[in-house]
Amino acid sequence: MSGDLKKSRLSVLSSHLTPESSLMASEKEAALAVAPSDSPTIFDKIINKEIPATVVYEDDKVLAFRDIAPQAPTHILIIPKNKDGLTGLSKAEERHTEILGRLLYTAKLVAKQEGLEDGFRIVINDGPQGCQSVYHIHVHLIGGRQMNWPPG
């Protein structure tokens, strides 16, 4: 990894650690600054309890925790504990169908737990143009306010 790419990647990762979103002008810039990779991510550190997170749900397969830069009153990230090469939805293979279903079912459970009876949104960003900035598949569960359409 080149020095410039490494610095850019560190900047993006540190932007996910601090609540001040002013560190990165936008999520779009963060997504464009990170090269897709199978390398360990900030989510791996959260799974391994190396970085603290506000966990709202955990079982043997998935972990759900509050986003540190929420886009709505409720904004939770749901991730598989074992990435298994699934850096993004476009990398999914048939062998991933069980964990993909588990992520969505967990989103339903957490939405109920969070009192989102009136509805919620599920988002999976994929690739630089999809605004993905962490290459460990993750589901955003967003709710607690009226969503708009079309999304950005």
The catalytic site residues sit at 138
Surface-to-core class of residue 135, CB atoms within 10 Å of its CB (0-12 exposed, 13-18 middle, 19+ buried): buried
Give the C-alpha separation, 33 to 29, whole Å. Answer: 6
Q: What is the strand order of the sheet 62-66 is part of?
A: 55-58, 62-66, 74-80, 139-143, 120-123
